[in-house]
Copies of this chain bind each other. A is one copy, B any other.
Amino acid sequence: MISIIPVRGLPEIREGDDLAAMVVALQELADGDVLVLAQKVVSKVEGRVIRIDSLEASAHAIELAADERDPREVEAVLREAKRIVRERGSLVIAETTHGFICASAGVDHSNAPEVGMLVLLPVDPDASARRVRDRVRELTGARVGVVVTDSFGRPFRQGTTDVAIGLAGIPPVLDLRGTTDRIGQELRSTRVAIADELAAAADLVRGKAEGVPAVVIRGLQLDGDGSARELVIEPELDLFS
């Protein structure tokens, strides 16, 4: 059995906060636990927040924004994007500097510290995860996995699911190549995106207004390590897009 435990009671997170210490003060962690953190709190700790009025919109941003969106917010999106994948009106699907493809290059005004601010994705979400993992170890002795998540839309299907954008202490993908079923045939799905499944599972307990940024998943034994960037598929291998 697996338990998905919301960590309730975290205060509003500010730059420089010791997030690992705040979590372990509220929830005991044990070896093998996976701590799933919403990107927003990680970004806030790392100061990845900007004031909209500090931005000057470029001609491209003004054109995209039209009358639908603050052109300075679109400017932030363009600055965070390595490549624009799709544009429809003011909606921009972009590849982030990390290689993730998502709406607005991950830039978002919701759950910002104050009105008039935007939250950006962490610069290196794997490094963010490693820092939290190491700090938990230091504070408690527990060897945990850490996943940093965001809510992404996806092709072909409605709605968002939470996915992994950073990780430490767990493998991004379970490789089952060579595993056979009970009649000896190889499985069709031999590479399971376990980090994305952990992210989605954690979202089930977050609650409506994203009031629960930290979630513990207990009961899995996941060996391995890696980077959430391994979840990005090279375009030439991507059969689906």
Contact between chains at A189 and B160 (CB < 8 Å)? yes
Q: Within the complex, which residue of B91, B159, B173, B188 is in contact with A110, where a contact is CB–CB below 8 Å?
A: B188
Which residues of the other chain, B, contact A201 by a CB distance below 8 angstroms?
A: 4, 197, 200-201, 204
Segment with Cβ contacts to B, from A18-26, A120-128, A132-140, A205-213 = A205-213
Q: Are A200 and B208 in touch, CB under 8 angstroms?
A: no
A116 CB to nearest chain B CB (Å): 10
Tell which of B93, B154, B157, B173 touches A159, judged by Cβ atoms closer than 8 Å: B173
Instruction: Say yes or no: A192 contacts B1, CB within 8 Å.
Output: no
Q: Tell me if B241 and A155 are in contact (CB < 8 A).
A: yes
In the bound complex, what is the Cα–Cα distance between A173 and B157 (angstroms)?
A: 11
Give the residues in chain B near A179, CB-CB below 8 Å: 208-209
Tell whether A232 is near chain B: CB-to-CB under 8 Å: yes
Known: A151-B189, A239-B91. A232 touches B158 (CB 8 A): yes
**Contact among B1, B3, B153, B197 with A200 in the assembled complex (CB-CB below 8 Å):** B197
CB distance A153 to B196 under 8 Å? no
Q: Mark A156-169, 1 if CB is under 8 A from B, else 0.
A: 11111111000000
Question: Is A53's beta carbon under 8 Å from chain B?
Answer: no
Query: Are A159 and B203 neighbours in the complex by a CB distance under 8 Å?
Result: no
Tell me whether A200 and B209 are in contact in the complex, defined as CB-CB below 8 angstroms, given that A5-B1, A151-B188, A188-B110 are known contacts.
no
- Indicate if the CB atoms of B209 and A182 lie closer than 8 Å: yes
Residue of B156, B162, B173, B211 near A241 (CB, 8 A) is B156
**Residues of chain B within 8 A of A6, CB atoms compared:** 1
Which residue, A104, A203, A204, has most C-beta atoms of chain B within 10 A?
A204
Q: How far is the CB of A109 from chain B (nearest CB, A)?
A: 6
- Looking at the complex, which one of B12, B85, B180 makes contact with A209 (CB distance below 8 Å)? B180
Residues of chain B within 8 A of A115, CB atoms compared:
183-185
User: Could you tell me if A155 and B238 are in contact, using CB atoms closer than 8 angstroms?
Assistant: yes
Contacts A/B (CB < 8 Å), 6 sampled = A112-B183, A155-B238, A159-B194, A159-B231, A161-B193, A205-B219
8 further A-B pairs in the complex, CB-CB below 8 A; given A113-B183, A158-B193: A1-B6, A110-B181, A112-B185, A153-B240, A158-B232, A159-B194, A200-B201, A201-B204
